[in-house]
Structure 1
């Protein structure tokens, strides 16, 4: 019997709906049959406000999945944990690393908050925290990828992230991971930021799942500031997977998002806070 899945965007750079707030960040509420999963938590506590407006009870959360340890994906974690008492947290251990970005010659801390880090570390040896270095089944049929191999030569970022405030130790974001599940039409993949590369991720999840067709991709594709050549190669490779629905958001970048909409006008959909989409899992 098919299982219904509904994905609602709780936090994104844009918002649609009365009273909903937006911020530079992302968070998805996944209703997977009878279970509830929160994927990322945005940059601040507005995830709680938006959830309330949308009629979503965070106390029902069975699992929280963290895509990687940047603050625009983990900033709402402390606020969420005030409600999501029963939730297990799925994350790569590297998500707890100190993180910095360099802009205008100065460094800025962009890692997980000390408060969230203390909460996680206090449960590190319990079954509340599930470390996800490799592919992990969060619920029957719902998976998180774990570390994603970088295998192509065009999804290479300019070095902008570091593990130290003096910008001596590059941060390659090995903790970056995505959620995926299979439907009657192919895989659905949800991205936090796709720091590992959109195509690298799709190549990996099709390999480990044994499903070569991808129906839907949505979330942050991390193409902001990317060259036209890189965006073009990503778009060319989209066709390899037969993707029918594309929901670019968050860190995809305006120019890249416009190019997606130009190339795939009937396949693209909005990923703003307050929007939702539905699937059936086989």
Structure 2
């Protein structure tokens, strides 16, 4: 039995749960535990305790990319998950900023603990890699994702410096996929590489195994109509059985996804849990 629980997300509905702009997933394979992202740091440990999830049992921690809403809780969780191996892309430690033309300087969205490699002093083991890795039996990272199609971009204005003169291609973006007997379960962080680029890459890695379920953020908040339409068309071709999108997907995109895929989209917020028997 594979169980996926959402520990951190923008919204929380159950009593005692905390919401924050961020993302963290708990993946329980029955024999191993993987934490995918860590939120901003205010909610992860509290929500895990409330849900009865023992973060001390974490075998692997995977960072989807270096933004603070996915890495901010890393320092705190490493004080608990003392035996976990940390997996990240080498460019996840770069300085990261976002901003607009209306402001002279970008807003920093990286954290010192990651940017200064302080995690190396706390983690039991660190794997910095660009390639796909099986972090525990049956749970894989995508590694760096090729940017193939002509309609997807990083989903926003992201930079490597405060002056906003060096665009960040976010090559550190990666997702997780889990092969099951009925197809792949894919979990996105923010899909800055593009959800369709990501699914194409996973297809190449798995001999184009069918897609069973999709979860996570798609970063379609700023998507053009062309990108939105092309994304919906491509997703239809994958025939996913279940989709739980959240976080940075965007309200307009969420509405369109629920309209385009009736009966397949599910509400996804803190404490949401999804089980896959085989």
TM-score (norm 1): 0.94
Question: Is the 2:94–2:115 Cα contact (8 Å) retained in structure 1?
Answer: no
Identify which range, 190-199 or 211-220, moves more after superposition.
211-220
Unaligned runs of 5+ in 2: none
2:195 pairs with 1:198: yes
Question: RMSD between aligned alpha carbons?
Answer: 1.6
Offset at residue 117 of structure 1 (A)? 3.9
2:28 pairs with 1:31: yes
Structure 2 Cα separation of the partners of residues 159 and 239 of structure 1: 24
Question: Is the 2:48–2:55 Cα contact (8 Å) retained in structure 1?
Answer: yes
Following superposition of structure 1 onto structure 2, how do residues 108-119 of structure 1 map, counting pairs within 5 Å?
108-114=107-113, 117-119=116-118
Question: Is the 1:38–1:65 Cα contact (8 Å) retained in structure 2?
Answer: yes
Offset at residue 90 of structure 1 (A)? 0.6
Structure 2 Cα separation of the partners of residues 43 and 256 of structure 1: 23
Following superposition of structure 1 onto structure 2, how do residues 45-84 of structure 1 map, counting pairs within 5 Å?
45-84=42-81
Question: Is the 1:78–1:116 Cα contact (8 Å) retained in structure 2?
Answer: no
Offset at residue 280 of structure 1 (A)? 3.4
Aligned partner of 1:269 in structure 2 is 266
Aligned partner of 1:252 in structure 2 is 249
Q: What do residues 68-96 of structure 1 show as CA deviations (whole Å, max 9, x unaligned)? A: 00000001111111110000001111111
Question: Is the 1:67–1:193 Cα contact (8 Å) retained in structure 2?
Answer: yes
2:14 pairs with 1:10: no
Residues 269, 37 of structure 1: alpha-carbon distance in 2 compared, 3 angstrom cutoff: same
Aligned partner of 1:122 in structure 2 is 121
- Aligned match for 1:153, one of 147, 150, 155: 150
Question: Is the 1:217–1:247 Cα contact (8 Å) retained in structure 2?
Answer: yes
The structure with the largest strand share of the pair is 1
Structure 2 Cα separation of the partners of residues 183 and 121 of structure 1: 33
Unaligned runs of 5+ in 1: none
Structure 2 Cα separation of the partners of residues 204 and 263 of structure 1: 24
Question: Is the 2:155–2:221 Cα contact (8 Å) retained in structure 1?
Answer: no
2:149 pairs with 1:138: no
Residue correspondences, number: 276
Q: What do residues 23-79 of structure 1 show as CA deviations (whole Å, max 9, x unaligned)? A: 110000110121111000001231000000000111111110000000000011111
